[in-house]
């Protein structure tokens, strides 16, 4: 008989949020590895996020989904409070208390970047005796922005930094297991909290979910094309930010170098940066186009700050001539969303910090054009191939494809669950 896990994921389909993708892609496989799952999420109207109804097609109909309310952002924003975890905290406590009282669960699994909700883990553990696991998809409390200019810091950074510093220990000191997309996140937490030195831990990246490509292709008629067919289009879909300027700057430097030798040929290339801001619709501030202007190549760069739906993203990647993945100057950054790029098998250029764990993953796949910030000459070679129309589609390592499949990533999560409940 399978054990039962209650998953806390504030965002869930049809909401299109990056931090719910691990749960969404794992749900079809958990039962195969001995775990039946139920999900508690925030009801879509309270999330203030873009939705994609097609995401629901990938969620097994057998999964029970419990949706909770949250305080209205229209009201809380007047007090400077917009964080979804804080707005939904009381409703989570009330709903999950009832679920745990009425049904037997063996484990609680927090998989979200809305970290303040995780403080409920220690409360539920004390009240109901149920262990909990936290999925660290990003750092929770981090000093990364402490020495950055105010213009580069996230909104309300002063408040969030202090809130995270206070809340993180409340959840982490009592946690029974940790999953992370980056080993460095777990290392930092163990250095910070000696009491978790010996708990089960696992570094598990996001998985590649092949059925999503079929859903995107079957619904292609529903999406407005974003690319200009008169150009060779090199596409990135994902967040922007000044921390990616080193990677993007290396690309732009290489392009300028190529354009200096053959201006006509390189007038045929356009770079697309799509969905670069998390701000509400039409309120995003460009972070890539200003850099393009510094290089004098704004006519070759299109930045669309508004996010597009998940399946629109997959379709756009498949329509591109080549793909680009920029990495952060933060060495711990993993770019969890690399798998849609790999699934597309389009010619791919990735530029990362030399210490990024993403380099190892891309190396296992056998990606041909994976560089660091200083490899400008190598990047020019890739651009020449794209401009001349001779860039070759990727043929990735079959073992890596299986290792990083959503099925195997779900298996790795369940192995950790087993260790936690079997202690």
pLDDT in tens, 211-270: 999 999 999 999 999 999 999 999 999 999 999 999 999 999 999 999 988 888 888 999
246 close to 270: Cβ distance less than 8 angstroms: no
Beta strand residue intervals within 132-190, DSSP E: 132-136, 177-180
pLDDT per residue as tens digits for the range 36-47: 999 999 999 999
Give residue 80's pLDDT band: very low, low, confident or very high (50, 70, 90): low
Quick: pLDDT tens for 12-66. 999 988 899 999 999 999 999 999 999 999 999 999 888 899 999 999 999 999 9
pLDDT-based confidence at 295, cuts 50/70/90? Answer: very high
Q: What is the pLDDT of residues 313-357, one digit of tens each?
A: 999 999 999 999 999 998 877 766 799 999 999 999 999 999 998
Question: Which residues have C-beta within 8 Å of that of residue 268, sequence separation ≥ 6?
Answer: 231, 232, 387
Closest CA to 303 of 235, 255, 250: 235
Predicted local distance difference test score (pLDDT) of residue 226: 97
Say yes or no to pLDDT of 143 above 80.
no
Residue-wise burial string across 312-349, b where 16 or more C-beta atoms lie within 10 A, e elsewhere: bbbbbbbbbbbbbbbbbbbebbbbbbbbbbbbbebbbb
Among 140-149, 168-177, 286-295, the minimum mean pLDDT is found in 140-149
Section 357-367 average pLDDT: 92
Task: Return the number of other C-beta atoms located less than 10 Å from residue 197's C-beta.
Answer: 9
Q: Report how far Cα 32 is from the mean position of its chain's Cα atoms.
A: 25
Angle at 224 between CA 223 and CA 230, to 5 degrees: 130
| Cα–Cα nearest to 265, from 279, 255, 277, 254 | 255
Name the residue among 362, 363, 367, 369 with its Cα closest to residue 383.
Answer: 369
Instruction: Specify which residues 41 forms β-bridges with.
Output: 67
Reported as a single tens digit per residue, the pLDDT across 371-391 is: 999 999 999 999 999 999 999
Q: How many CA atoms lie within 13 A of 166 on its CB side?
A: 6
| CA distances in angstroms from 135 to 80, 108, 411, listed in the order given | 27, 11, 15
Which residues, including other chains, have CB under 8 Å from residue 363's CB and lie 6 or more apart? 370
Tally: H helices and E strands in the chain: 16, 13
* Residue 343 preceded by cis peptide, ω within 30: no
């Amino acid at each position: 008989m399978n054990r039962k896990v209650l998953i806390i994921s504030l965002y869930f389909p049809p909401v299109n949020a990056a931090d719910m993708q691990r749960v969404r892609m794992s749900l079809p496989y958990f039962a195969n590895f001995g775990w039946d799952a139920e999900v508690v999420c925030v009801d879509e109207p309270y999330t203030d996020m873009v939705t994609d109804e097609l995401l629901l097609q990938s969620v097994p109909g057998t999964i029970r989904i419990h949706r909770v309310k949250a305080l209205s952002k229209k009201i809380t924003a007047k007090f400077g409070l917009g964080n979804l975890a804080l707005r939904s905290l009381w409703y989570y406590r009330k709903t999950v208390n009832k679920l745990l009282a009425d049904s037997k669960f063996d484990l609680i699994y927090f998989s979200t970047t809305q970290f303040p909700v995780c403080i409920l883990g220690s409360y539920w553990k004390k009240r109901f005796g149920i262990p909990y696991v936290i999925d660290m998809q990003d750092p929770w409390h981090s000093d990364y922005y402490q020495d950055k200019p105010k213009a580069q810091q996230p909104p309300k950074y002063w408040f969030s930094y202090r809130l995270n510093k206070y809340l993180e220990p409340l959840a982490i000191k009592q946690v029974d297991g940790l999953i992370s997309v980056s080993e460095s996140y777990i290392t930092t937490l163990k250095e910070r909290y000696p009491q978790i030195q010996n708990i089960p831990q696992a570094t598990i990246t996001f998985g590649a979910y092949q059925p999503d490509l079929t859903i995107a292709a079957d619904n292609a008629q529903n999406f407005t094309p974003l690319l200009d067919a008169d150009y060779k289009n090199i596409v990135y879909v994902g967040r922007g930010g000044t921390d990616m300027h080193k990677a993007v700057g290396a690309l732009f430097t290489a392009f300028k170098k190529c354009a200096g030798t053959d201006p006509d040929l390189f007038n045929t290339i356009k770079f697309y940066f799509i969905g670069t801001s998390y701000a509400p619709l039409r309120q995003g501030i460009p972070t890539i186009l200003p850099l393009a202007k510094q290089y004098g190549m704004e006519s070759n760069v299109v930045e669309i700050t508004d996010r597009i739906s998940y399946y629109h993203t997959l379709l756009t990647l498949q329509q591109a001539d080549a793909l680009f993945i920029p990495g952060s100057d933060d060495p711990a950054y993993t770019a969890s969303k690399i798998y849609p790029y790999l699934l597309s098998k389009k010619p791919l250029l990735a530029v990362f910090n030399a210490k990024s764990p993403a380099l190892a993953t891309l190396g296992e796949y056998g990606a041909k054009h994976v560089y660091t910030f200083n490899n400008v000459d190598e990047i020019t070679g890739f651009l020449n191939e794209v401009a001349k129309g001779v860039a070759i589609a990727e043929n990735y390592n079959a073992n890596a494809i299986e290792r990083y499949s959503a099925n195997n990533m779900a298996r790795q999560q369940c192995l950790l669950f087993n260790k936690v409940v079997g202690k």
